[in-house]
Structure 1
Amino acid sequence: MSAIPELQQRQIHRWCERRVPADKRIVSRWRGRMVTLVEKGQDWSGDTSEERAFAQLRYGVDGMWTLYYWSEELGRWRKYPQSVRENSPVPLLADIDRGAADGYFFTLQT
């Protein structure tokens, strides 16, 4: 299995669209089987200026998804400890919502 199924791509895209704080937005960046979720902020003039990656979903060749978070102190992606591999990105997106309170996904304020 190589390509990410279209349904799962749409699920991730919809999740990003639903998280629209007043001065920020969430976008997904796709590269191969990795989807990086990025928070885009606005400067005082309303232009998008700051970007911060905060989560990454990885789609394995076996069709299973794994969730990672960005570790500032290590400067690399780390596997999210409360998450398990899933056959859909939806439970992992719910993990991101829950993990924001734990400080793993520090950017999501909705």
Structure 2
Amino acid sequence: MIVHQATSFRSAAWAGRAKLVVRCSGNGASSGAFQAGQKVKVVSSIKIYHAPKHPEGIDLNGMEGTLIKDVTHYKGKILSANFPFEVEFHLPSEGKPAKFKAHLGEDEIQAL
């Protein structure tokens, strides 16, 4: 089994600061502890730059969202996704709430 972990901080490639973050572990198959539609909470400090109305970035630590899907299985094949869980978050805003998705690792989220 190969395990690499650079950091839990994600770089801002879109913001012009290119920094490679490599995290791989095992064969890419998740443990199955999470199910689609489940509420989850982010337990790691992860800064992302693709959230609406937050071009300076937003830290996901402590935010709650809904698990959309586990991307390690596709058409009967096992994929080696670095961040296998797609989670949807809702940001409070005036009028229509802003939604965005982020791909997270198993060690970065906790089931609620």
Instruction: Please report the TM-score for the alignment, with normalisation by the length of structure 2.
Output: 0.28
Higher helix share: 1
Larger radius of gyration: 2
TM value normalised by structure 1: 0.28
Using CA pairs under 8 Å that are at least 6 residues apart, name the structure with larger relative contact order, 1 or 2: 2
